[in-house]
């Protein structure tokens, strides 16, 4: 089972992705976590990514697609993967399709976490104060929302057209939303 979690920054897909991974045993891969880890270690990937991340911009597709090749080709992903934070552009979506096809797989479902903008702003500012992420400040947040609208939102129609989009109303308690995810996936 290959699943994509889609939604604006602060929509809760990371939290729900972890719960879903724990429940199903499918590995969750977050490109944001992998990039932050690479930045923390001072790895070449991190050096290329950091300034984009700090500004709330997307890391260029060529860098991300190299990373996707590595993660989707790994033995851990052989039973399927929960994709958190990617694909974020049409080019990345096409790369995901190509990489999964190479292994005889496909994207099975895309969960869209739907949250109104004012609620997103509130959540992300709470996260900024709790976690101290350098990209959770107001400027980077505005930029990340704009980037989401311009570069990532087109994926909604891309996957809706295939009939694999499942929209999750993602306002409510964590268990409530987890239940909607379970129902939405029919499992
Ligand atoms: P996230 O933790 O998913 O919100 O990602 C944090 C930051 O990492 C983003 O604002 C981007 O700068 C970068 N990033 C993570 N995933 C991707 C991706 N798939 N494509 C481009 N940039 C990404």
Q: What value does the mean pLDDT take over residues 25-29?
A: 94
Gap from CA of 31 to ligand 1 centroid (Å): 6
pLDDT-based confidence at residue 125 (cuts at 50, 70, 90) = confident
Average pLDDT over residues 182-186: 94
Instruction: Give the pLDDT score at 62.
Output: 94
State the DSSP code for 60.
P
Which ligand 1 atom sits nearest the alpha carbon of residue 30?
3
What pLDDT is recorded for position 123? 80
Collapsing DSSP to helix, strand or coil, 184 comes out as: helix
Percentage with pLDDT > 70 across the chain: 96
Kindly give, in sequence order, each residue whose CB lies less than 8 Å from that of residue 54, ignoring residues fewer than 6 positions away. 134, 135, 140
Q: For ligand 1, say whether the CB of 58 is within 6 Å of any of its atoms.
A: yes
* Residue 141, pLDDT score: 78
At residue 132 the predicted structure's pLDDT band, cuts being 50, 70 and 90, is: low
Question: Looking at the predicted structure, is the pLDDT value of residue 24 above 70?
Answer: yes
DSSP 8-state class, residue 75: G
For residue 57, the ligand 1 atom closest to its alpha carbon is 12
**pLDDT at 135 (0 to 100):** 66
Kindly report the protein residue whose alpha carbon is nearest to atom 9 of ligand 1. Answer: 53
Q: Is the pTM of this model over 0.85?
A: yes
Question: Which pLDDT does position 37 carry in this prediction?
Answer: 94
Q: What is the pLDDT of residue 172?
A: 95
Q: Which residue's CA is the nearest one to ligand 1's atom 14?
A: 32
pLDDT at position 129: 72
Confidence of residue 180 (pLDDT cuts 50, 70, 90): very high
- Pick from 12, 20, 8: nearest CA to 108: 20
Please, which pLDDT band fits residue 139 given cuts at 50, 70 and 90? confident
Mean pLDDT of the 52-75 span: 93
d(CA 73, CA 174): 31
| Mean pLDDT value of segment 75-103 | 95
Strand order in the sheet with 2-6: 27-30, 81-84, 2-6, 109-114, 165-169
Count of all residues that appear for the chain in the document: 187
pLDDT(131) > 70: no
Mean pLDDT calculated for residue range 18-30 = 95
């Amino acid at each position: 089972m290959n699943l994509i979690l889609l939604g604006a920054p602060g929509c809760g897909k990371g939290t729900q992705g972890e719960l879903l991974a724990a429940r199903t045993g499918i590995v969750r891969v977050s490109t944001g976590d992998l990039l932050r880890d690479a930045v923390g270690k001072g790895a070449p990937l991190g050096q290329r990514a950091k300034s984009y991340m700090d500004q709330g911009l997307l890391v260029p597709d060529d860098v991300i697609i190299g990373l996707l090749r590595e993660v989707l080709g790994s033995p851990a992903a052989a039973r399927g993967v929960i994709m958190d934070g990617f694909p974020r552009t049409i080019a990345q979506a096409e790369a995901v399709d190509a990489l999964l096809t190479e292994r005889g797989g496909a994207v099975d479902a895309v969960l869209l976490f739907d949250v109104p903008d004012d609620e997103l702003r509130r959540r992300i500012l709470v996260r900024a104060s709790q976690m101290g992420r350098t990209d959770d400040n107001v400027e980077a947040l505005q930029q990340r929302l704009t980037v989401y609208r311009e570069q990532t939102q087109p994926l909604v129609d891309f996957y809706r057209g295939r009939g694999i989009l499942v929209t999750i109303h993602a306002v409510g308690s964590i268990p409530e939303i987890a239940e909607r995810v379970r129902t939405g996936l029919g499992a």
